[in-house]
Every structure is written in structure tokens, then in C-alpha cells.
Amino acid sequence: MGIYVIAKKNVTELQTAVFYADDDGQEEAVAVFTNDDRAHVYITDSDWDQTETIAELTPIDFLQWLTSIHSKGTHYLAVNPVRDDQEQGIAQPVLNIEELLSELAAALEGKLKAPAPPPQMQTHEVEIYHCEKCGEVLRQPSGRAVPACCDQEMQKPAVDKVTTPRSGKVPSA
């Protein structure tokens, strides 16, 4: 599931239409859509079928695009705008890009500062073997073949339980 923007056809870099977000023409906005159907309706209602297409952005691509348009002076996102409503002068829902980026940065900072959760632990049963000839002791997980030492099978005098961190990926916070 991505975020959809209206983009110029037949260009190598993503180019999106910029709109005025206020009556004075001082603030700029770009349209973003939460599904491709809404974006398609917008293109059709605008008669942009020949020059524009729909681009789906992954979350990472969206964040990169968002910081790029913000650095170029665009301050607002028009979320799911409706072309007919725009033409009638009906205000469209907008998000302030700088506020949105600040919220994302704060969430990331909080994630980085949060203590890591304790590792998940698991308990294993281990068998303890003893070599009667040389006195060597060996611990191994239960269910494995009986080990040999000094050309003979080792004796199993005991079973123990140990708790260790689960193997695998490092847990995320």
C-alpha cells in the first residue's frame, strides 16, 4: 500500500503539479492520494490524461519526495483533493509539510532514545555427559547422539535446564 501522486508522463525524474494553497498565490501545495482510484478521477476531471500519470510511492520514496519538495518551497500537501470542489472554490484538506516532517523526526528520535526491549528468552534441556576414563564433562542439547570420548560412549549422569536468548534477528524496539 503506497501513496499516490500525479506525475508528468515521459520524464526521468518525478515531477508533480504544484497548486496554490491560498487565495493570494503565496503558498504552494501538491496533491497526494491515499488510493490510485482517487488520483485517476482527479486526472480525468482535470483533462490531464495525455500529460499526467499516477505514480505510487513507497513509504521511503514518499519521505524522500516530501523532503525534496519541502526544500524547494512547497509547504502543503492537499490530501485527496477533488477537482470539481476546487473549481467551485471549496477548500481542500491540507497538511503542513514542515509540521509533518517535525512529527516524523520526533517519532524517530523517540524510537532511537527508547531502551531496547529485553531479549526473548528460551529454556533448553541439556544433557550432561561424563567420560569415565579421562574425566571430561560435556553438555549438549537433549536429543542428540550420545557423544564418545576415549574410544567409548560417555556416561549421562545428569540433565539440566539452561535459559538463553533466542537466536535470530536483533529484536526491534
pLDDT at 72: 92
Per-residue buried b or exposed e for 81-91, using 16+ beta carbons within 10 Å of the residue's own CB:
bbbeebeeeee
Residues 36 and 98 in one domain: yes
The tens-digit pLDDT sequence of the chain (173 residues) is 689 999 999 888 888 888 776 666 677 899 999 999 999 999 999 999 999 999 999 999 999 999 999 999 999 999 999 999 888 888 888 899 999 999 999 999 998 888 777 778 888 888 888 888 888 888 888 888 888 888 888 887 778 787 777 765 544 44
Is 62 part of a structural domain of the chain?
yes
For residue 163, give Cα distances in angstroms to 11, 54, 129, 143, 166.
58, 53, 19, 17, 9
Report which of 38, 45, 28, 39 is spatially closest to residue 6, judged by C-alpha positions. 39
One-letter amino acid at 66 equals: L
- Total tally of structural domains belonging to the chain: 2
Residues 63 and 97 in one domain: yes
Residues 81 and 12 in one domain: yes
Across-strand partners of 138? 129
pLDDT at 1: 63
pTM of the model: 0.63
Q: What is the CATH number of the domain that holds 151?
A: 2.20.28
**Residues of the domain holding 135:** 121-165
pLDDT at 172: 46
Show Cβ contacts of residue 19 under 8 Å, excluding neighbours closer than 6 positions: 28, 29, 30, 31, 78, 81, 86
Among 113, 134, 154, give the residue marking a domain's end.
113
pLDDT at 171: 47
pLDDT at 170: 46
Is 158 part of a structural domain of the chain?
yes
Residues 105 and 127 in one domain: no
- DSSP letters, 100-123, are HHHHHHHHHHHHHHSPPPPPPEEE
pLDDT at 23: 65
Report which of 142, 146, 143 is spatially closest to residue 124, judged by C-alpha positions. 142
Bridging pattern class, strands 3-8 and 18-20: unpaired
